[in-house]
Structure 1
Amino acid sequence: MRSASVPEPARPATPDDSLLSKGVALARRRLIPVLVLMYVFSYLDRLNLSYAEPSISRTLELSATVFGAAAGAFFLGYAVLEVPSNLILYRLGARKWLARIMITWGAVSMLSALAWDAASLIVFRVLLGIAEAGFIPGVLFLLMQWFPARERGRATALLFAGPLIAGVVGGPLAGLLLGLDGVAGLHGWQWLFLVEGLPAVLIGLWVARWLPNHPGEAGWLDAKTAQAMQDAIAAEAASTRSREQLSLGKALRDRRVLLLAGIYLCYHLVTNGVTFWLAAVVGQLGELSTTAFSTLMTIPILVAAIGLVVFGRYAGRTSNSRGLLLVGLLIGIAGLTAAAVLPPWLSLVAVAVASFGSSGLLPVFWELPARLLTGRAAAGGIALINSIGQLGGLVGPTLVGAIKESSGSLDQAYLLLAGVLVVAALLTLLVRFPRDQAETSPSPSTEVEAETP
């Protein structure tokens, strides 16, 4: 059965560089902002529990360990259904399936306002993960149908700005919504879940009508430009298959795919262990106003955005992706180690440094599976990597919460998380991938590049 999301030109042709450049520039302006917007609300609905931690822990009488378990429960349902969800997306197309994902996760996020104790909160978090399963691998797979290798890293970097934007606006927005405590008889955290879940439903309904599965479906691309983009992507896929063609079954068992999944597991364990306890880091600074508190929480996020920009410029344009990945991991290790031994204010700065490296490595990391996998194997392999990686989100917040509860501080947790990144660096040294794709992909012209934002 042919996938709705994968165009299959009868014969890959050498793409016209000017048309390809034009199409890439238009896709950055028209497609990427929509995907980023979707990711922003995805992350807001995932991150709002972090902002609500003081209020919801007090209302529902949650210990630090139980709150960590609730934060991590999201990733249980998310990880289990990642691969099936992305294979369905491969069959039905990104437009229909990503719209379904958005509508259901927005609805579940709103329903989370009904949580009445720890058990019900954990159930809602598991359901939220189930609803959102497949979103990120689905979007990453969609980018493979739109952007040639040299431009995919930049597009991926723009995509991963979504969580950072969510972090920047999420703090002040959460402060306003939490300030509604008592309005209409609802707690502030209930308003947070209700207000931030609704836009996902509305955007999902719009995406169901608008989102093009591939360039050939985009009404804002002329036929020649769309064909040039599809030919370039088909030619790269043919080149990848000529080196080594992996079926879905082989891809899911491939040693390199499993190593990447291990690296991503370490990444998510660390980043979620830090993110869901960022409020506690800021809380160590003393008495702060709600505005000051929310603003300080955005510092690591803004620094992470800089990391995305810096690393994203090189992702896909170098054959040494592993080297760039190691640089990001080493920066993360240094930042977390420093955070464990420095006083509170400097510790926040060190966490920001760690965020620079860990966020910067994302567009570099996702270039690696794209150089190995195509078609259905890519859909399944990317989902498997993300699925296993998300288990780190299940473990990270719970582990950090348990250490904080037993030791009374986050210092030991930071050292442990730095050690996890060391493991990721060692796994990175074991990965071997083809280098020629980044070197041989066509490069868009300077004239069109100047038009892109």
Structure 2
Amino acid sequence: MATTLLDRTVTKMRWRLIPFMLTLYVLAFLDRANIGFAKQAYQLDTGLSNEAFALGAGIFFVAYACLGAPANLLMKKFGARKWIGVTTLLWGLLSAAMAYADSETKFLVVRTLLGAAEAGFFPGMIYLTSQWFPQRTRASVMGLFYMGAPLALTLGSPLSGALLELQGVGGHPGWFWMFVIEGLLAVAAGFWTFAYLDDSPETARFLSAEEKRTLLDQLHSEESAKATSRIADAIRNPQVWHLAFIYMLIQISVYGLIFFLPTQVGALLGKKVGFEVSVVSAIPWIAALAGTYFIPRYSDRVGERRNIAAATLLMAGLGIGVSALASPLVAMVALCFAAAGFIAVQPVFWTMPTGLLSGTALAAGIGFTNMFGAVGGFLAPLIRVKADTLFGNQIAGLLTLAALAVLGSVAIMALKQVRATPVAPAGGSRLAKT
């Protein structure tokens, strides 16, 4: 009976929390990646060089990297509702402020501040998931959350493209309206957070006393089986460093492609970036939606993490490489596999640190791992531009990203195997690590 009640409770939490988390991630990803759509027109209007654009695209991750772990510890102290609400308000305002960043200095300053404001959001969401959902369901839960990235780029691509068509409205360029409107959507979501989110299962307004007790018993039993709960132990743990290195390689492949995808698709089509190119650019993200839905669910069903994550990242690397070398049609198909791979690998990846750590160590460990990912995000556009410049062609950067993704797959295979008890068709089993 307790297991049945636990399943019902998890289902209720899915319906309550995942749409909320997904909406915020769509807005966060859209606000950090929309400069890829503005790239051509923005550089033309402001005189920004390719090198300055790459630096600004990456500098977002400098403050983001430094503040991720402290932000998670602060969320643990002040509560998820206030912390996520304030974070969302701030990043929305700063994203809208990009509309006024009409010089290189302003561009770099606003991108840095945006990274600082967003630093607490993503690691906070990963930590929030670990505090609400049993371990055996987390890959699929995080897979649904991670659908925010391809959704942002599937729905956001046409939206951003359409807003760029507002060229001249009110005497402003199209990119001005894109930044303002998409930023204000996040501001509205911040106010929604204050009214909607509960800090923890203990204070959840939508759970009954019996549901809370059943859920908390399961979560506490899992916490007691984990390796460590102290911050110092987490930082000294070599497996945490190994995971952080892998996540850095994943993020290099992610952002090395995302920031340049609209212009890459435009080159394949022989057209400038606008509404038509933005619609075609959405196709790989539709593939990513499918991959992000099915691959983590499969991982939960069979209780396997490492091999599935490695194979998924390998698929992404091969897709990136083929997209650099093939004809336009084959390149678009390869980009679909690449997008599906590097988005779907991440929810499976995050089951590893959340299955290893607990308590304050988990909050810090997630922030620490995410910090390395932010370093990867910073390096990604710089690596791609540098490789293209060094070899004097437009495919060297893509091939470099492909090689780093393959290296990440090898690094995952070097991890100790971590298994979760497969989710039973009815009922469900408790988590076990072997």
Bin for the TM-score computed over the shorter chain: over 0.9
User: Which residue is equivalent to 1:328?
Assistant: 312
User: Which residue is equivalent to 2:69?
Assistant: 83
User: Which residue is equivalent to 1:6?
Assistant: none
Structure 2 CA distance for partners of 1:293 and 1:258, relative to 1, 3 Å: same
1:111 counterpart = 2:93:
no
Give 1:175 deviation, angstroms. 1.7
User: Which residue is equivalent to 2:163?
Assistant: 177
Q: Find the aligned partners of 1:316 and 1:253 in 2 and give their Cα distance.
A: 29
Q: In structure 2, give the amino acid aligned to 1:439.
A: T
Q: Find the aligned partners of 2:291 and 2:309 in 1 and give their Cα distance.
A: 12
Q: Find the aligned partners of 1:403 and 1:344 in 2 and give their Cα distance.
A: 22
Give 1:382 deviation, angstroms. 0.7
Listed one character per residue, the Cα deviations across residues 45-79 of structure 1 (whole Å, up to 9, x for unaligned) are 11111110111010111222221111111111111
User: Which residue is equivalent to 2:339?
Assistant: 355
Query: Is this contact kept in 1: 2:323–2:335, CA < 8 A?
Result: yes
Q: SS at the partner of 1:158?
A: helix
Listed one character per residue, the Cα deviations across residues 98-117 of structure 1 (whole Å, up to 9, x for unaligned) are 11110110111111111121
User: Which residue is equivalent to 2:47?
Assistant: 61
Q: In structure 1, give the amino acid aligned to 2:399.
A: L
Q: Which runs of 5+ in 2 are unaligned?
A: 429-434
Identify the match of residue 74 of structure 1 among 56, 60, 76.
60
Q: In structure 1, give the amino acid aligned to 2:427.
A: S
Identity of paired residues, percent? Answer: 34
Q: SS at the partner of 1:314?
A: helix
User: Which residue is equivalent to 2:427?
Assistant: 445
- 1:23-62 residue pairs with structure 2 within 5 A? 23-62=9-48
Q: SS at the partner of 2:357?
A: coil
1:152 counterpart = 2:135:
no
User: Which residue is equivalent to 1:260?
Assistant: 243
Identify the match of residue 275 of structure 1 among 248, 254, 258.
258
Aligned residues: 427
Listed one character per residue, the Cα deviations across residues 252-300 of structure 1 (whole Å, up to 9, x for unaligned) are 2211111111011001111100000001211112137833211110011
Query: Is this contact kept in 2: 1:281–1:344, CA < 8 A?
Result: no
Q: In structure 1, give the amino acid aligned to 2:404.
A: V
| Greater displacement, 213-222 / 271-280 | 213-222
Q: SS at the partner of 2:207?
A: coil
Q: Find the aligned partners of 1:318 and 1:92 in 2 and give their Cα distance.
A: 37
Listed one character per residue, the Cα deviations across residues 340-387 of structure 1 (whole Å, up to 9, x for unaligned) are 221233222212111122112112101111111001000000111011
Q: Find the aligned partners of 1:22 and 1:327 in 2 and give their Cα distance.
A: 32
Query: Is this contact kept in 1: 2:61–2:378, CA < 8 A?
Result: yes
Q: Normalization by structure 2: what TM-score?
A: 0.94
Listed one character per residue, the Cα deviations across residues 20-47 of structure 1 (whole Å, up to 9, x for unaligned) are 1111111111111011111111111111
Q: In structure 1, give the amino acid aligned to 2:212.
A: A
Query: Is this contact kept in 2: 1:150–1:443, CA < 8 A?
Result: no
Q: SS at the partner of 1:221?
A: coil
Give 1:426 deviation, angstroms. 2.5
User: Which residue is equivalent to 1:224?
Assistant: 210
Q: What is the alpha-carbon root mean square deviation over aligned residues?
A: 1.8
Query: Is this contact kept in 1: 2:387–2:400, CA < 8 A?
Result: no
Query: Is this contact kept in 1: 2:68–2:119, CA < 8 A?
Result: yes
